[in-house]
């Protein structure tokens, strides 16, 4: 009898999925603190969540997944925590390279990677090179990424090209400027998800998020799962994206 009143399971529509989802992976430290574990255990659990969510995005047909893994401001953290995060990234990249021919995911790194260790830089170069031939699903990892840094570099490089006469266009357009970003060639995110209860962008995709749908949840990143992503997608599909126009 009860089943008669049970609400039909609400799910998302496969033909209106966001093309590009960006995620600020946050809450690893608090997740660990709640369990009386070191913060680094939270990062290890967060890396596991990333694997799951990347696989799920691929399975359901999300074309681009962009992940904020380490910001230009995260260097302020204790050395031990920073090195643990870098170590987890190395581990992830070794696995990604090993599984590349099976997963067929194109991988890109956004941010200034020149400040990373030679070992990590070599892995990044290898991952990008080996995965460049794939064109179905793309995962972008933002590493030593800061949006203000990205915009400043874009302005600097644009000015250099202008002065050197390397630009044919005489007027700067949004399209031209976008091509100077780390995200050149990647469509703007349709949705930005931030778990952990913080309601801010923390220097993430400030240029690209102009018309992104923002989704915040109190769930800590290591607890985020496929069902949480379903909820975010349902919320995305309930919104009316007007881009400054009026409701259709």
Residue 150 is a binding residue for ligand IPE (CB under 6 A): no
- H helix runs in 18-169, sequence order: 28-34, 39-60, 79-98, 100-103, 118-131, 147-163
Which residue number places its CB atom closest to Mg ion?
A: 26
Residue 59 designated active-site = no
Among the listed ranges 8-16, 28-36, 54-62, 225-233, the one in contact with ligand IPE (CB under 6 A) is: 28-36
Count of positions on this chain that bind Mg ion (CB under 5 A): 1
Residue 26 is a binding residue for Mg ion (CB under 5 A): yes
Q: Element (H or E) spanning 240, and its range?
A: none
Provide the mask over 32-71, with x wherever binding to ligand IPE is found by CB under 6 A and - wherever it is not. Answer: ------------------------------------xxxx
E strands in 14-74 = 20-24, 64-71
What distance in Å separates the CA atoms of residue 215 and residue 232, rounded to the nearest whole number? 7
Q: Are 93 and 47 in contact (CB under 8 A)?
A: no
Among positions 178, 179, 202, 235, the unique one binding ligand IPE when judged by CB under 6 A:
202
Which residue number places its CB atom closest to ligand IPE?
A: 29
Q: Are 161 and 167 in contact (CB under 8 A)?
A: yes
Burial of residue 167 (number of CB atoms within 10 Å: 0-12, 13-18, 19+): middle
Beta 105-110 vs 137-145: how paired, if at all? parallel
Which 228-247 positions form the footprint of ligand IPE (CB under 6 A)?
none
Beta 64-71 vs 105-110: how paired, if at all? unpaired
* Of 126 and 223, CB closest to Mg ion: 223
Among positions 21, 22, 27, 64, the unique one binding ligand IPE when judged by CB under 6 A:
27
Residue 112 designated active-site = no
Residue 63 is a binding residue for Mg ion (CB under 5 A): no
Q: In what order do the strands lie in the sheet with 213-216?
A: 105-110, 137-145, 64-71, 20-24, 191-194, 213-216
* Of 27 and 189, CB closest to Mg ion: 27
The site for ligand IPE (CB under 6 A) is made up of: 24-30, 68-71, 74, 85, 196, 198, 200, 202
The site for Mg ion (CB under 5 A) is made up of: 26
Catalytic residue numbers, as ranges: 26, 74
């Amino acid at each position: 009898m009860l089943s008669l009143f049970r609400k039909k399971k609400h799910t998302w529509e496969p033909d209106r999925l966001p093309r590009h989802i960006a995620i600020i992976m946050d809450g690893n430290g608090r997740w660990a603190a709640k369990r009386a574990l070191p913060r680094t255990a939270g990062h290890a659990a967060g890396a596991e969540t990333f694997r799951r969510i990347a696989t799920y995005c691929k399975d359901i047909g999300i074309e681009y997944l962009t992940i904020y893994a380490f910001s230009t401001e995260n260097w302020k953290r204790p050395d031990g925590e920073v090195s643990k995060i870098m170590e987890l990234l190395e581990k992830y990249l070794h696995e990604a390279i090993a599984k590349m021919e099976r997963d067929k995911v194109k991988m890109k790194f956004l941010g200034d990677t020149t400040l990373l260790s030679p070992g990590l830089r070599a892995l990044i170069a290898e991952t990008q090179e080996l995965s460049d031939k794939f064109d179905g699903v793309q995962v972008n990892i933002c590493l030593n990424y800061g949006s203000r840094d990205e915009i400043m570099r874009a302005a600097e490089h644009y000015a250099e090209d202008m002065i050197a006469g390397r630009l044919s266009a005489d007027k700067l357009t949004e399209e031209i400027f976008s091509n100077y970003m780390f995200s050149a060639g990647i469509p703007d995110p349709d949705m930005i998800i931030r778990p952990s209860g913080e309601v801010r962008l923390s220097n993430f995709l400030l240029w690209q998020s102009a018309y992104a749908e923002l989704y915040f949840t109190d769930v800590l990143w290591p607890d985020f799962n496929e069902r949480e992503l379903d909820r975010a997608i349902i919320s995305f599909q309930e919104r009316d994206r007007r881009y400054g126009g009026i409701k259709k």
